Amino acid sequence: MFTFGYYNLKMKFLSPGQRNAFCLVSISPIRKEAKDSSEMVSQLLFGETVNVIQIIGSWVEIETIFDAYNGFVDFKHLLAISENELTTWSSNFEYQKIAINTIKTPWGQQLISCGSFIGKDNFFTIGNYSFEINSSKNETSKNPIEDQFLNTPYLWGGKSIFGIDCSGFTQVLFRLKGINLPRDAYQQMEIGQTIEFVNHKINDLVFFKNNDGKIIHVGLVVAPNKILHASGMVRIDALDETGIFNNDLNKYTHFFSTVKRIQ
């Protein structure tokens, strides 16, 4: 059994020359620039690993290991690990499959969201740090994971059950299927097989464009002519060859571009 207690722990924050780290908090904003007022472009979830590019004061410029996303993170949200520890953890984690869980850490208990990086057993380590997760960590829910996200508020750059954007949502859903998609919608559209709209089926991704033809939105087919997507909140709307029709607003909110099937 592990012993937990923040005050008995010497936390190894990053210092110059260290090149690998993992996210110690439930959710860490990745910002476009090295300041709190900068736009949040994505998020790290607990246990997610990064390559360190440089340390600038209290900020760390990082590149995420699993989707090669760049930005700036508060250095207090990361703990240093060695290259060997990174390799070990990268081959020994799984993604949390239930919406919210509690984890015991050396610095106390904290909530973690679906898609967080956790151990394959209830007790696990990342580098020199020990963790314990709820015994029902991946207990099958009565509802599919897609339904567990319903009504999650839209958050630009978000990737968690507490707030999520359209491509963050599809990335998390496909990670749980064992497929690691890129972070942004326009990048995700480059993956998979293009399908004619009339042949769309459940689990296809559908992409939407603006007036300039730029890909600005993505969602998941959950039934014929029904799409699950993050727009205002995670919701299910009608889908046709024009785009997404929102019955609450009585109008089309997004305009169709492409259907992709991800194998």
Residue 187: strand, helix, or coil: helix
Helix or strand (DSSP H, E) at 229: strand 226-231
Residue 87 CA to its chain's centroid (Å): 21
Is 229 catalytic? The answer is yes
Residue 7: strand, helix, or coil: helix
Q: Spot the catalytic one: 114, 166, 200, 254.
A: 166
Is 200 catalytic? The answer is no
Among the listed residues 259, 103, 242, 142, the one whose alpha carbon sits nearest the alpha carbon of residue 193? 259
CB 103 within 8 A of CB 134: yes
Strand 108-113, strand 129-133: pairing: unpaired
How many CB atoms are closer than 10 A to CB 34? 18
Compute φ and ψ for 145, nearest 5 degrees.
-60, -30
Amino acid identity, position 193: Q
Among the listed residues 139, 143, 86, 148, the one whose alpha carbon sits nearest the alpha carbon of residue 117? 86
Q: Spot the catalytic one: 23, 114, 200, 229.
A: 229
Among the listed residues 60, 63, 50, the one whose alpha carbon sits nearest the alpha carbon of residue 90? 50
Q: Spot the catalytic one: 77, 200, 217, 254.
A: 217
Q: How far is CA 176 from CA 78, 93, 218, in A?
A: 24, 12, 17
Is 166 catalytic? The answer is yes
Among the listed residues 209, 207, 205, the one whose alpha carbon sits nearest the alpha carbon of residue 261? 205
Q: Give catalytic residues, as residue numbers.
A: 166, 217, 229
